[in-house]
Amino acid sequence: MMPIIDLHQHAPTPDGLDARVQACRDAGIVTAVILGQPESRVPGDNALTLAAARAYPTLFRAWYGVDMDADGPDAITRARDVGFTGVKCIGPKRAYNDPGYFPLYERAADLQLPVLFHLGIVANTPGYQDCDSNLMRAIHLDHLARCLPELTLIGAHFGNPWPEEAAMACRWNPNLYFDLSGSLLKYRRPAFLGELLWWKADGPYAAPDRSDAWAKIVFGSDVASPAIADVVNDYAIVMDTLKLDDGLCCRIWHDTAARIVGPPA
C-alpha cells in the first residue's frame, strides 16, 4: 500500500487516541497532521493536539489553532516553541485576506510554518454558530498567496461550495494547495473534479510553475477514526476514474504533503 500523509485530522479524545493510531495504520497513513482549535471555540483542543503529537511523534504533527481575532503574531512564535509545526485558521470575524490578519500570516511565513485554512461552509455545531462562511472563501487565499509568496497555504475542502474559486486560485499560485476532505467527494463525481483540475504540466494554459493540477492536491480525511478508510477509498475512486498516472497519485497520497509537513518537531 502507498504510504499516505493525511493533512487534515482533528484530535480524538484521549481515550480514542489508540484507536486513531490503529486507524492510521490500517489505512496506510504514515503521518497525520492534527489541527488544533483555539480555546475560544468549543471545544478548544490545542493542548490535546499537542499531547497527541508528543505521544506519537513520528505519526502525528500538531498544528496550532490560532484565535485569529485575539492572538497576535507572538502567539504563533510561542506555539512553534512548544512544538507546533503549522497553523490552522477558521472562523474569522473578517475575511481571511483582511489586512489586519497579515501580521499572523507573515509570522507564520517567517517561521516557515504552513497554514491550513478551513474554507467555505462550516458545520452548524456548538462553537461555530457565529461563523460567516462567506469570510472563508477560496478566492481570499488567492489574494494571500500572491501577496505572501513565502507562505505555504493549504485550503481545506476544496473551497466547498465554491470549488471553482479554489481551482483557479490553485492554478495561479504555486504556494497554494488544497485537500478534498468534507462532503465534496460524496456529492460530486470524479468527472466534475477532473473538469476543475484540468491543466497539465506541459500546457496549453500551463500553470506558472508548470505543475500539473493534481500535483497541488493533498490527502485529508477530516473524519472520526472509523471513517478514515472510507475517505481513502473516495480519493482512490477519483484517481482511478480519472486515470491519473502513478507519479501524480504518489504526489497526492504522499509526496506533495511531505514537502509541506517537513520533519517532526
The residues of the shown chain that bind Zn ion, judged by CB under 5 A, are 222
Q: Which residues contact 170 (CB under 8 A, 6 or more apart)?
A: 155, 176, 177, 178, 197, 213, 216
Least distance to Zn ion from the beta carbon of 181, Å? 7
* 179 residue type, one letter: D
Listed in sequence order, the DSSP H helices in 59-210 are 73-82, 102-110, 138-147, 163-172, 184-187, 190-196
Decide if 56 contacts 80 (C-beta within 8 A).
no
Q: Which residue is at the shortest CB distance from Zn ion?
A: 222
Least distance to Zn ion from the beta carbon of 8, Å? 5
Least distance to Zn ion from the beta carbon of 206, Å? 31
Q: Which residues contact 28 (CB under 8 A, 6 or more apart)?
A: 1, 2, 3, 4, 232
Place of cell 499572523: 104
Burial class (CB in 10 A: 0-12, 13-18, 19+), 126: exposed
**CB nearer Zn ion, residue 220 or residue 251:** 220
Q: Return the H-helix or E-strand segment holding 60.
A: strand 60-65
**CB nearer Zn ion, residue 115 or residue 244:** 115
**CB nearer Zn ion, residue 136 or residue 193:** 136
**CB nearer Zn ion, residue 37 or residue 97:** 37
Least distance to Zn ion from the beta carbon of 127, Å? 13
**CB nearer Zn ion, residue 165 or residue 222:** 222
DSSP β-bridge partners for residue 88? 65, 116
Least distance to Zn ion from the beta carbon of 153, Å? 16
Least distance to Zn ion from the beta carbon of 77, Å? 24
**CB nearer Zn ion, residue 139 or residue 224:** 224
**How many whole angstroms separate alpha carbon 222 and alpha carbon 43?**
16
